Amino acid sequence: MIDLADLRARPDAYKKAAKNKNLKVDIDAFLKLDEKRRALIPEVEEMRARKNEVSKQVPKLTGKEKAKAITDMKKLNETLKKKADELTALETKWQALQYELPALPLDSVPVGKDESGNVEVKRWGDPSTVLRVTPAEAKDHVALGQALDIIDLERGAKVAGARSYFLKGDGARLEQAVLRFAQDHLRKKGWTIFHPPIIATRDCFVGTGFFPGADQNNIYAVGGQMELGGPIESDNGYLIGTSEVSVCSYHKDEVLKELPKRYAGVSPCFRREAGSYGKDTHGLYRVHQFQKVEQVVLCEADTDTAMKMFEEIRTNAEEVLQALKLPYRVMTICTGDMGKGKVFMQDIETWMPSHKAYGETHSCSYLGDFQSRRLNIRYSDAGGAKKFVHTLNNTCIASPRILIPLLEIYQNKDGSVTIPEVLVPFMDGQTKISTKS
């Protein structure tokens, strides 16, 4: 949701944003509806005031005066009902169209139609030097996982369908080690760790910008209790695809006294992956269930302050990758690939030897007051004025996708996988994952 006063003042900026973000929204049509609504509101309010005044006077009248007043009030009631119904219909349409309006991207965001317009801004590490085996000897994470008996895709599919998996033994332990390392990294920097609800209401998904829009196609709805032989009753809940939904909604309808808020949500996440048929579906890259440590920031409504926070949360994720010694690059996301509510966005892509390419493992976003207006999260500035906070979020780590480069880069000639040094304490001192004799 956006600042409508700003939209009315400079509609061309929003038309440009909609065009550059590939959004089909008619700004002029919304403004006409907005103008009609604003004109109708005082008209309805004035009629309601007249009705109240007449209602007070009728008991004091007698005879013809009273009869005429009652007749006039009936006519007024009919007109008021008609106008009120018209306003209600306008309000419904006006509210729905607001959810389609885009946030304005920063001037520094590259203009592009799709991911081909994203711009690389940084690299760390050298992919050509990381392998401990020759390219001919290298196995992908699926072959490694099967040989080490730590990944089972076949039984995952048997139990839960395509794009499901079991992590077992040292595979499960390695995932937990990565998640714990990322959590501890943030905790030592003063971040508050959350284990949030993984089922959230529709209001929370609307509030964080996932509903309405294309994103909702990837969200699992949760059914309610099913009577034997009867229909499933909805619980009006949805499985989160990121703890951003729950954690950002934590302060819904509140006025905050202290900023910034640095939160880290640790949770399972679920995505239907609608529309991704045949795309990056091998192994653990694109799955329906995963674990994530998600950074969420609420800060004052100042772009310079927010962008400093953006650098902080992206750096936190980079430090985790650097500690794991995984080569990566940072991409600034273009307008056509960044989404309706984003103001600025960067992805971190980690080197995946089996892909012979970088693959997205982290996403870092600044959304201005787009979410806080929907969630009604405000703060009092130094002058006492109430303002909407600005929100940011970033993937500190997500698994099992991060296991792809971890397993492939740390594989050894004997088929074992070396555990990165920083993860050894979380593996009870174990330094390698080896095949069982």
Q: How many CB atoms are closer than 10 A to CB 173?
A: 19
Mean pLDDT of successive 10-residue stretches along the chain, which has 437 residues = 94 97 95 96 90 81 80 85 93 94 97 97 96 93 96 96 95 98 98 97 95 88 70 77 98 97 98 71 91 98 98 98 98 96 98 96 98 97 94 97 98 97 98 83
Residue 405 within a domain: yes
Look-up of token digits 């079991």? 166
286 is catalytic: yes
The count of structural domains within the chain is: 2
Q: Which of 123, 272, 360, 434 is catalytic?
A: 360
Residue 105 within a domain: no
Residue 229 within a domain: yes
249 is catalytic: no
Q: Which of 91, 286, 300, 319 is catalytic?
A: 286
- pLDDT tens per residue, range 109-142: 999 999 999 999 999 999 999 999 999 999 999 9
Dihedral Cα 339, 394, 328, 416, nearest 10 deg: -120
Q: Are residues 59 and 206 in the same domain?
A: no
Q: Which of 163, 374, 378, 401 is catalytic?
A: 401
Q: Which of 173, 262, 271, 373 is catalytic?
A: 271
Q: Are residues 89 and 212 in the same domain?
A: no
271 is catalytic: yes
Q: Are residues 304 and 180 in the same domain?
A: yes
Q: Which of 363, 372, 399, 416 is catalytic?
A: 363
Q: How far apart are CA 320 and CA 187, in angstroms?
A: 13
Residue 155 within a domain: yes
Tokens matching residue 56: 């007070």
CATH code of the domain covering residue 216: 3.30.930.10
Q: Are residues 323 and 383 in the same domain?
A: yes
Q: Are residues 94 and 146 in the same domain?
A: no
What local confidence, expressed as pLDDT, does residue 430 receive? 97
78 is catalytic: no
Q: Which domain holds residue 364?
A: 115-433
What local confidence, expressed as pLDDT, does residue 306 receive? 98
This prediction has a pTM of: 0.92
| Entry field: residues in the chain | 437
What local confidence, expressed as pLDDT, does residue 226 receive? 63
